[in-house]
A and B are shown apart, each in its own frame.
Chain A
Amino acid sequence: MEKQNLYNDLIRILSMNISKIASTLGLICFCFIQVFAGGDWPQPKGKGYFKVSQWWLIADQHYTDVGQIDPNLTSGIFNSSLYAEYGLSQRLTGVVYFPFFSRNYFNNQVSATTGEILKAGEAINSIGDTDISFRYALTKPGSSIALSAAILLGLPLGENKGGSENALQTGDGEFNQMLQLGLGKSFGTDKIGIYTKLSVGVNNRTNDFSDEFRYGAELGFGILNSKLWLVTRLTGVESFQNGKLASEVVNSSIFANNAEFTSIGFEANYYLTKKIGLSAGYATAFRGQIIYAAPSYSVGVFYDMK
Chain B
Amino acid sequence: MTKLYWTLPLLMVSACIGDDLVYDEVEPEVRIMNPIDTIEINTTYQFEAVYLNNVGVEGDLSSYLWASSAQEIISIEQNGLATALKAGTALISVSGLDPGGKQLRDEKLVVVGNSTVVSSNMRTGSLRTTSSYLLKGDFSLEKISGGVKLSFNANYEASTALPGLYVYLTNNLNTIDNALEIGAVKVFKGAHSYDLNGVDLNQYSHVLYFCKPFRVKVGDGPFAN
The reply to whether B20 and A247 contact each other, CB–CB distance below 8 Å, is no
The reply to whether B25 and A112 contact each other, CB–CB distance below 8 Å, is yes
Q: Among B55, B133, B164, which residue has its beta carbon within 8 angstroms of that of A165?
A: B164
- Nearest opposing residue in chain B for A258, CB measure: B161
User: How far is the CB of B187 from the nearest CB of chain A, in Å?
Assistant: 10
Q: Considering residues B18, B20, B163, B214, which has the most beta carbons from chain A within 10 angstroms of its beta carbon?
A: B163
Residue A294 lies at the interface, judged by CB distance under 8 Å to chain B: no
**For the complex, what is the distance from the CA of A76 to the CA of B17, rounded to whole Å?**
8
The reply to whether A112 and B133 contact each other, CB–CB distance below 8 Å, is no
Residue B197 lies at the interface, judged by CB distance under 8 Å to chain A: no
Interface residues on chain B, number (Cβ under 8 Å): 39
User: How far is the CB of B186 from the nearest CB of chain A, in Å?
Assistant: 8
8 Å CB contacts to A: which residues of B142-168? 159-165
Residues of chain A lying within 8 A (CB to CB) of residue B212: 165
**For the complex, what is the distance from the CA of A107 to the CA of B20, rounded to whole Å?**
6
Q: Among A72, A278, A300, which residue has its beta carbon within 8 angstroms of that of B215?
A: A72
Residue A71 lies at the interface, judged by CB distance under 8 Å to chain B: yes
8 Å CB contacts to A: which residues of B181-196? 185, 188
Residues of chain A lying within 8 A (CB to CB) of residue B132: 64-66, 68-70
The reply to whether B161 and A65 contact each other, CB–CB distance below 8 Å, is yes
Residue A26 lies at the interface, judged by CB distance under 8 Å to chain B: yes
- Nearest opposing residue in chain B for A105, CB measure: B17
The reply to whether A70 and B17 contact each other, CB–CB distance below 8 Å, is no
Residues of chain B lying within 8 A (CB to CB) of residue A28: 161-163
A165-B164, A290-B161 in contact; A108/B20 too (CB < 8 A)?
A: yes
A113-B55, A246-B162, A247-B160 in contact; A167/B214 too (CB < 8 A)?
A: yes
Residues of chain A lying within 8 A (CB to CB) of residue B213: 26-27, 165-167, 252
- Nearest opposing residue in chain A for B16, CB measure: A105
The reply to whether B22 and A255 contact each other, CB–CB distance below 8 Å, is no
- Interface residues, chain B, with chain A CB atoms under 8 Å away: 1, 4-5, 7-8, 11-12, 15, 17-25, 54-55, 131-133, 159-165, 175, 177, 185, 188, 211-216
